[in-house]
């Protein structure tokens, strides 16, 4: 059961990261906030990949 819960959590994390990516794209290209959020989202993407690979 834990595997299904983990896979569901990873799936939801991917959906949330995708939504965040879409929202980040709406920010002005030269804004510090956009770059900071992009860097944070990149880190989250790597964490999702690591969690997925450990399954």
15-51 pLDDT, tens per residue?
Answer: 999 999 999 999 999 999 999 999 999 999 999 999 9
pLDDT value of residue 47? 95
CA gap 32, 15 in Å, rounded: 24
- This prediction has a pTM of 0.84
User: What token pair was written down for 25?
Assistant: 């794209």
Report the SS3 class of residue 54.
coil
Q: How many domains in the chain? A: 1
Question: What is the domain extent for residue 21?
Answer: 2-53
Q: Binning pLDDT at 50, 70 and 90, where does residue 55 land?
A: confident
């Amino acid at each position: 059961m834990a595997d299904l819960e983990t896979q569901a959590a990873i799936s939801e994390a991917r959906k949330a990261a995708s939504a965040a990516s879409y929202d980040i794209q709406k920010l002005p290209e030269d804004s510090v906030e956009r770059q900071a959020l992009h860097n944070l989202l990149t880190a989250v993407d790597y964490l999702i990949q690591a969690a997925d690979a450990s399954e």
